[in-house]
């Protein structure tokens, strides 16, 4: 290994221009592909308040169709009664929360101040156990408050400072769309990348009457559910329990001539983030295949160019290769040595590309991670810990190995197969 390092440094010094071009090309390739990886990673990696993403199962939507022979169905959010029947009674999970898996714009004000528009989410009391918000002041509302439909609100740090100029506001009064609410607590601002929990204020949905709001014979409504498993190993058991609850519920609603269709819900985090609509089950394998094709294209195109540079560098080393062969170096050893030298150069360039991608993603997060179809007035915030994950580092390392193999594999093989006489004569 020491000899390989020395040899690599010597070759870089001997062929500075080609080496610089190779490093820059490799770094840019890794930079581009890692930005694409990060765009996907931020949707599934855990961060507060969704630190348990690897243990989440989401049932955001529901689907019903008639059983009288007509080809008609309805897709969307479900009612509180349906959510309780299907998910609230599960025994295997650690917790199940029912809430509005979306947010809506409301106006909030304090005293005679001008109202400001904010994003509101309506939740139950279990919501605060499933999602790990960081409370700066006060505490979340409990089950008694939720059941009694007491008008309380949890607000974000930025909203608290806009309204009161401080975050120590527990117990103070605010007006939300002309309705008085008492502040229960203040939490740190949430990134819009927390797709299932993002809002600026949170209220119990019993206050607004969503627990009684329903249609389609009480089946559909405005709510969804998130299940927090104790472990990913429990996913199959939880889904089996959900299927049993669905059969029981469909038996109960049979007189209404409606039947609830699961579409294999609940979904884990990876499946949920590609769920664009309520009437189709997401194709996880297809989404993965598409991503891998994109990764492959982003690797093959620069690899072709880098392969030419590698071959150019090796042409200038033909005499050296001939001497090594003459002193007994086997072709396999020569092939491995050339690959190892290029791998060191690729890893060095890959490290630069990875650092560039993290820096770029962090500095340009406001437009790079902007959520599609979102009217959120707050730009997405990205913590550096969201980008520097073990998974992203391993992806970068893997791409370096693949890029090295694609760009230097064929030139190294051709160099190791060159005739000994031609090599010594620099042909």
Query: In terms of Cα–Cα distance, which of 33, 194, 30 is closest to 127?
Result: 194
Report d(CA 111, CA 170) in Å as an integer. Answer: 15
Report d(CA 379, CA 369) in Å as an integer. Answer: 9
The predicted structure's pLDDT at residue 399: 84
Report d(CA 406, CA 424) in Å as an integer. Answer: 27
Question: Strands 201-204 and 116-123, how do they pair?
Answer: parallel
DSSP letter for each residue of 148-212 = TT--EEEEEHHHHHHHHSSS--TT-EEEETTEEEEEEEEE----TT-TTT--SEEEEHHHHTTTT
- CB-neighbour burial class of residue 275 (10 A; exposed 0-12, middle 13-18, buried 19+): middle
Please enumerate in sequence order all residues whose Cβ is within 8 A of that of 162, keeping only pairs 6 or more positions apart, or say none: 116
Buried b (16+ CB within 10 A) or exposed e, 380-392: bebeeebbebeeb
The predicted structure's pLDDT at residue 164: 93
The predicted structure's pLDDT at residue 147: 96
pLDDT tens, residue order, the chain (427 aa): 777 777 777 777 777 887 788 888 888 888 888 888 888 888 898 999 999 999 999 999 999 988 877 778 889 999 999 999 999 889 999 999 999 999 899 999 987 788 999 999 999 999 999 999 999 999 999 999 999 999 999 999 999 999 999 999 999 999 999 899 999 999 999 988 898 999 999 999 999 999 999 988 899 999 999 999 999 999 999 999 999 999 999 999 999 899 999 899 999 999 999 987 888 899 999 999 998 898 888 888 888 877 877 777 767 666 677 777 677 777 777 778 778 888 888 888 888 988 998 899 888 877 777 765 455 556 677 777 777 777 777 878 888 888 878 777 777 777 776 766 665 665 5
The predicted structure's pLDDT at residue 199: 94
Instruction: Return phi, psi of residue 213, to 5°.
Output: -85, 125
Please enumerate in sequence order all residues whose Cβ is within 8 A of that of 54, keeping only pairs 6 or more positions apart, or say none: 46, 232, 269
Contact 207, 149 (CB under 8 A): yes
The predicted structure's pLDDT at residue 421: 61
The predicted structure's pLDDT at residue 280: 87
Biggest CA pair distance of the chain: 93
The predicted structure's pLDDT at residue 423: 59
To 10 degrees, what angle do helices 390-416 and 284-315 make? 40
């Amino acid at each position: 290994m020491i000899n390989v390092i020395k040899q690599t440094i010597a070759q870089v010094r001997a062929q500075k221009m080609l080496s610089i071009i190779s490093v820059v090309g490799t770094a840019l390739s890794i930079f581009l592909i890692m930005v694409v990886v990060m765009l996907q990673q931020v949707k599934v990696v855990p961060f507060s308040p969704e630190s348990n993403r690897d243990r989440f199962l989401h049932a955001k939507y529901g689907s019903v169709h008639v059983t009288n022979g007509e080809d008609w169905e309805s897709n969307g959010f479900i009612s509180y009664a349906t959510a309780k029947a299907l998910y609230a009674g599960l025994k295997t999970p650690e917790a199940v929360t029912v809430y509005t898996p979306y947010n809506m714009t409301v106006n909030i004000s304090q005293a005679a101040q001008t109202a400001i528009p904010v994003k509101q989410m309506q939740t139950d009391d279990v919501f605060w156990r499933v999602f790990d918000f960081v409370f700066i002041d006060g505490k979340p509302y409990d089950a008694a408050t939720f059941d009694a439909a007491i008008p309380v609100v949890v607000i974000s740090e930025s909203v608290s400072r806009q309204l009161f100029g401080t975050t120590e506001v527990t117990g103070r009064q605010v007006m939300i769309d002309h309705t008085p609410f008492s502040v229960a607590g203040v939490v740190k601002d949430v990134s819009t990348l927390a797709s299932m929990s993002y809002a600026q204020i949170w209220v119990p949905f019993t206050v607004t009457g969503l627990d009684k709001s329903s249609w389609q014979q009480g089946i559909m409504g405005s709510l969804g559910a998130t299940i927090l498993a104790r472990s990913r190993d429990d996913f199959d058991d939880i889904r089996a329990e959900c299927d049993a609850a669905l059969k029981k519920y469909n038996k109960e609603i049979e007189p209404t001539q409606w039947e609830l269709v699961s579409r294999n819900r609940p979904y884990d985090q990876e499946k949920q983030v590609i769920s664009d609509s309520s009437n189709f089950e997401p194709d996880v394998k297809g989404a993965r295949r598409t991503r891998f094709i994109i990764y492959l294209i982003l690797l093959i195109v620069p690899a072709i160019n880098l392969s030419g540079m590698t071959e150019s560098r090796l042409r200038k080393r033909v005499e050296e290769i001939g001497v090594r062969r003459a002193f007994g170096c086997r072709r396999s050893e020569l092939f491995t040595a050339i690959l190892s030298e290029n791998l060191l150069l690729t890893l060095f360039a890959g490290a630069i590309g990875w650092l560039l991608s993290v820096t770029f993603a962090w500095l340009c997060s406001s437009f790079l991670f902007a959520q599609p179809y979102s009217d959120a007035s707050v730009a997405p915030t990205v913590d550096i810990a969201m980008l520097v994950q073990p998974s992203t580092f391993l992806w970068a390392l893997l791409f370096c190995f693949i890029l090295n193999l694609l760009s230097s594999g064929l030139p190294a093989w051709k160099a190791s197969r060159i005739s000994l006489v031609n090599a010594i004569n620099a042909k």
